[in-house]
Amino acid sequence: MCGIFGCVGESDVTNFLIDGLKRLEYRGYDSAGLCIQTEDRNIEVIKSSDSTYPVDVLRKSLEKSKIKSNVGIGHTRWATHGPINNINAHPHFSYSNNISIVHNGIVENYDFLKKFLIRKGVIINSQTDSELIAHMVDLMLCSMGNLESAIFSVSKMIEGINTVALMSKETPDSIFGFSTDPSGGLVIGEKDNHRFLSSDSFALEKFCKSVTFTNKDDLVIITKDSLTIIDQNNLPRVPKNINLNKESDIPKNENYDLQTDFIIEKEILEQNHTLKNLINKRMPDKSQDAFPEINRHRLLSSKKIIFTGMGSSYNAAQYGSLLFEDLLEIDTKVEFSSELKNKKIIGPQQTTVFAITQSGETADTIEAIRNTKEQGAYVVSIVEEPNSKAAINSDSYLLLETGKEISVAATKTFSSTLLMINSICMYVASLLEKDNLTIHKVKEDFTIIDNNVKKVLDCCDYDYLRVSKFISESEKVFFIGKNLSFPIVKEGSLKIQEISKINSNSFIEGELKHGPNALLDKNTTVVSVIGPGDNIKKSISCLREISSRNANIITISFTENEELNELSKYNFVIENNNKYIFPILAVIPLQKLAFMSALNLGLDPDRPQNLAKTVTVE
């Protein structure tokens, strides 16, 4: 889940390195580091591990040092091996200090290689698996006498999906890179007299009009004069350029350096506009024209639909599976991508997979795309990034077009994904000629969703500050719901875990009395979401059982109800009787409550500890 960036040019590249790393910070911000070749060809390393904005610290350190360089590699880290400190921060040096590396991935045979190196007399300085790669390259270089051959040898020796960029003192003014990722590991590009290398196309969008994605085990060598790709048979490969889709450019209102005015709050407020824009594009008068990207024949010939994702994307996928079965009466499943990547699909030729990953870089989801596509399923990815691995490896992809979401917790991308799934549902209904009153009513109600969202965002009756204190002062927080509301309570619980660091869990409403009730006490807050498709009387009975165990109750309901008001410390009322739209509206108060609970606890809601925006390791 780390970010890699490298640049070579005829002039100073330090600003390019910082800008590239800044765009990769969403992949990990436990630490950051640079390895740069100075004008006298010495190697300087700068690291930062004591801030959740480590690239800003690097920028200041560079400005203070006044170091200039025409070649360098950089790294943003999400820790997998060893605690967060400067010793474990990248770049790492080999035992002779000849090789310096930055690395994304997990070396799965770490223990074996570590013991091998120790037997060779190599001193391991850090607790990372990454350092071992530097030592292995140096060892192979000593025995083989050729850096390219040494790198190829090491790429075959390390197990797992790994992407590496490295520099060698013996080969100045050059950056080498390789990836064992079959979905495309490194991205390389050129602009004027500069050449770039990164683990993520987003880092290059600011600099390059087109890029090349490497194949598995390709070796990349960039200098100020050349860009070379050598395949695993040691043969040169002509770069195949792909034009970058500029729809993924950063929105104008984004400010990377803003730390006092919270980005997540802005992204919550942006949902009014992102949802309206999506409706205008994906719910036209003629629904059959809404998705030209989708292969109609493959979709309509499918007897089974699978939705897949991880984290917030899994919650959206679960909503999708429930929606498709309810509205379209099509056999639909939901799968964690981490499970689907290894599963055999029954009847793959008659299966459509909707893979949800807003970044398009989630490792498990990319592997699930690869697995299901190889078996013959038709794969459609739902992404925000058009230049991502998920988009490139899928048969088709659909863009959320929310603008880059910077805060770690998904907010506007989550609600937009729910709306996208509804739009797909309307599209399939039109193709199947399911022109019933329910479908018409859903489409009609969606045309005014921006007014509903605005009411939820603006309503002063929602005392978020007071309610958030119940949550932030609780030892445990439970979220309960049923039917289409259940994926929403799962998302609410996830938000509390992510940005408020509170012990939170979600349950199907009826499941509480089968075990979780044992945990209820006065230090527990239960948040119940009751939608228009739910049996409100059954929900009230459940809340009475919770109240009798002295837990605090917060409700989000579709209508005013005296019994709910009596049982609840607070009842958020979202007046919407459409069971398909209500969940999209109900998630907004949950997002705001998580945000304010984090503030109550003195936490940074934009960059919670131990997390990253994109999970790029399995």
What pLDDT is attached to residue 3? 92
Q: What would the pLDDT profile of 138-188 be if each residue is shown by its tens digit?
A: 999 999 999 999 999 999 999 999 999 999 999 999 999 999 988 777 999
Please say whether the beta carbons of 485 and 532 come within 8 A: no
Q: Which residue has the tokens 């992510």?
A: 498
Between residues 404 and 87, which one has the greater pLDDT?
A: 87
- The answer, yes or no, to whether residue 454 has pLDDT greater than 60, is yes
Backbone angles phi, psi at 259, to 5 degrees: -120, -10
Q: What is the mean pLDDT of residues 535-553?
A: 94
Backbone angles phi, psi at 76, to 5 degrees: -115, 135
Q: What's the chain's average pLDDT? A: 91
Around Cβ 347, how many Cβ atoms within 10 Å? Answer: 12
Between residues 447 and 48, which one has the greater pLDDT?
A: 48
Based on its alpha-carbon atoms, the radius of gyration of the chain, rounded to whole angstroms, reads 26
Q: How far apart are CA 31 and CA 55, in angstroms?
A: 8
- The answer, yes or no, to whether residue 301 has pLDDT greater than 90, is yes
What pLDDT is attached to residue 238? 85
What pLDDT is attached to residue 246? 57
Angle between helices 412-431 and 582-600 (to 10 degrees): 170
Q: How far apart are CA 561 and CA 133, in angstroms?
A: 63
Q: What would the pLDDT profile of 553-605 be if each residue is shown by its tens digit?
A: 999 999 989 999 999 999 999 988 999 999 999 999 999 999 999 999 999 99
Q: What would the pLDDT profile of 81-111 be if each residue is shown by its tens digit?
A: 889 999 999 999 999 999 999 999 999 999 9
Query: pLDDT-based confidence at 534, cuts 50/70/90?
Result: confident
- The answer, yes or no, to whether residue 69 has pLDDT greater than 90, is yes
Please say whether the beta carbons of 197 and 16 come within 8 A: no
User: What end-to-end distance do the CA atoms of the chain give, in Å?
Assistant: 9
Q: How far apart are CA 592 and CA 607, in angstroms?
A: 16
Q: Among candidates 407, 356, 355, 358, which has minimal Cα distance to 248?
A: 358
426, two tokens = 């309307």
Burial bucket for residue 553 (CB in 10 Å: 0-12, 13-18, 19+)? buried
Query: pLDDT-based confidence at 477, cuts 50/70/90?
Result: very high
Q: Among candidates 506, 435, 490, 441, which has minimal Cα distance to 321?
A: 490
What pLDDT is attached to residue 239? 80
- The answer, yes or no, to whether residue 255 has pLDDT greater than 70, is no
Query: Using DSSP, how many helices (H) and how many strands (E) does the chain show?
Result: 20, 24
∠ CA 183-487-490, nearest 5°, is 90
What pLDDT is attached to residue 259? 41
What pLDDT is attached to residue 149? 95
What pLDDT is attached to residue 253? 40
Q: How far apart are CA 363 and CA 371, in angstroms?
A: 12
Torsion over CA of 125, 128, 130 and 136, rounded to 10 degrees?
50
In the chain, what are the domains?
3-244 (3.60.20.10), 263-456 (3.40.50.10490), 464-600 (3.40.50.10490)
Query: Can you tell me whether residue 189 is helix, strand or coil?
Result: strand
Q: Among candidates 474, 598, 489, which has minimal Cα distance to 534?
A: 489
Between residues 130 and 243, which one has the greater pLDDT?
A: 130
- The answer, yes or no, to whether residue 224 has pLDDT greater than 80, is yes
Q: How far apart are CA 311 and CA 491, in angstroms?
A: 8
Query: Can you tell me whether residue 198 is helix, strand or coil?
Result: strand
Between residues 305 and 52, which one has the greater pLDDT?
A: 305
